[in-house]
Amino acid sequence: MDGEVPEPHSGAMESFENLVRAEFAPKNTYLNTASTGLLPARTVVAMRDAVAGSAAGAPTDMFADVEAARAAFARLAGVPATRVATGASVATFSGLVAASLPPGAEVLTAEGDFSSLVNPFHVRGDLKVRAVPLERIAESVGPDTALVAVSAAQSADGRVADLVALREAARAHGARTLVDASQSAGWLPLAAGDFDFVASVGFKWLLCPRGVAFLVVPEDFGGLTPLYAGWAAGEHPWDSCYGPVEELARSARRFDESPALFSYAGARHSLALVEELGVEAVHAHDTALADRFRDGLRALGHEPVPAPGSAIVSVPGLGHRQGELSRAGVEVSDRAGNLRAAFHLYTTAADVGRLLDVLSD
């Protein structure tokens, strides 16, 4: 295929490739990370060990795994671990933010954004939820806007929000911000400290098992009430098992759900791998392959949805070929009639070529 993937320093590239090869060996051409990321080998081993330990009556310290995962995500997000809550879904965290708003507050969202982010604001029933095209979201922030909630990268087509413009517009009007990084954390550098709230699931680009999610909150907690606080959200959890919790955690841990421990036993190792590889290196790898695919599509007479700088490529009118591609050993998604391909650290140039070859038949 035409076009070459830019190569980093040869030593760095070899180290990156060796580490990836040691952790992943997909049996197909896997281009569906926007749905579910592949689990690294180290994560699978850790989860097996945790399950075996529990079956034998000698469980490992999986609460330590939760704290290690929290700390790793905090480093990736560029914030202190004290600002990170753990849970299982973005919808839960979005609901927590929605519950903090006064009746009649205006929430600005992007048209067609993922339901787990936006639906909790709609079901309140007493908020003014306004949806605008993604490209106009920053300019649409006004003096009545209480919160802007938007995905950093759109699930349906990979378009990347202009978060810098959004941040500045929100600050100018005194609006808070909630960014869903589920389709970007792991390949797109994240400066969570630039926003009030950042939520992300772990089972996509962060390569974690399902049941892992994170929420970054402000140092002052941003007006959130820990509605779901159980014993695990206490400052001293093992002293908070009975009756009302006397003292909630002084950190964002007060917003924790009781964790899915086996998932977190694996998550700490997935996040460690992302740290070892480096998000900047993953970003360069992923976006170069996505650009290679875009070039190949145009050579075949197809025009993808414009999404410059994204690791996700959506192609109008080709979604119906998802089943055919799967039978050929190429895994992609069909989203609203569009073929969606996602390129991540275990994707190779040969994978891009395989997808284009099948599409050309």
Torsion angle of the four alpha carbons 211, 108, 342, 330, in this order, in degrees rounded to the nearest 10: 80
Spell out the residues 6+ positions from residue 14 whose beta carbon is closer than 8 angstroms to its own: none
pTM for this prediction: 0.94
Name the CATH code of domain 10-40+277-360 (choices 3.20.10.10, 3.90.1150.10, 3.40.640.10, 3.40.50.12780).
3.90.1150.10
Residue 107, phi then psi, degrees to nearest 5: -115, 125
Dist CA 292 CA 297 (whole Å): 9
Q: What is the pLDDT of residue 6?
A: 40
Answer whether 289's CB lies under 8 Å from 354's CB. no
Answer whether 116's CB lies under 8 Å from 97's CB. no
What tokens appear for 283 in the block? 């970003």
**Spans of all domains in the chain:** 10-40+277-360, 53-276
Dist CA 256 CA 87 (whole Å): 6
Taking the alpha carbons of 182, 186, 187, 193 in that order, is the dihedral positive or negative?
positive
In single-letter form, the type of residue at position 270 comes to S
Dist CA 39 CA 137 (whole Å): 34
Beta bridge partners of 107: 129, 147
What tokens appear for 93 in the block? 């965290």
In tens digits, what is the pLDDT along the chain, a chain of 361 residues?
333 334 444 567 779 999 999 999 999 999 999 999 999 999 999 999 999 999 999 999 999 999 999 999 999 999 999 999 999 999 999 999 999 999 999 999 999 999 999 999 999 999 999 999 999 999 999 999 999 999 999 999 999 999 999 999 999 999 999 999 999 999 999 999 999 999 999 999 999 999 999 999 999 999 999 999 999 999 999 999 999 999 999 999 999 999 999 999 999 999 999 999 999 999 999 999 999 999 999 999 999 999 999 999 999 999 999 999 999 999 999 998 999 999 999 999 999 999 999 999 8
Angle at 296 between CA 295 and CA 298, to 5 degrees: 70
Answer whether 254's CB lies under 8 Å from 229's CB. yes
In single-letter form, the type of residue at position 265 comes to A
Answer whether 280's CB lies under 8 Å from 259's CB. no
Q: What is the pLDDT of residue 14?
A: 75
Asked if the 53-276 domain carries CATH number 3.30.40.10, the reply is no
Q: Quick one: DSSP state of residue 251?
A: S
What tokens appear for 106 in the block? 């205006």
Q: Is 112 left (phi over 0), alpha (psi -120 to 50) or beta?
A: left
53-276 shares the fold of 10-40+277-360: no
Residue 226, phi then psi, degrees to nearest 5: -75, 70
What tokens appear for 312 in the block? 């996700």
Angle at 181 between CA 266 and CA 233, to 5 degrees: 60
Q: Which of 251, 356, 266 has the alpha carbon at shortest distance from 47?
A: 266
Q: How far is residue 242 from each of residues 62, 85, 179, 249, measured CA to CA in Å?
A: 21, 22, 35, 16
Query: How many helices and strands in the chain, by DSSP H and E?
Result: 10, 12
Q: What is the pLDDT of residue 11?
A: 64
Q: What is the pLDDT of residue 1?
A: 32
Q: What is the pLDDT of residue 10?
A: 55
Query: Is 57 exposed, middle or buried (CB count within 10 Å of its CB: 0-12, 13-18, 19+)?
Result: exposed
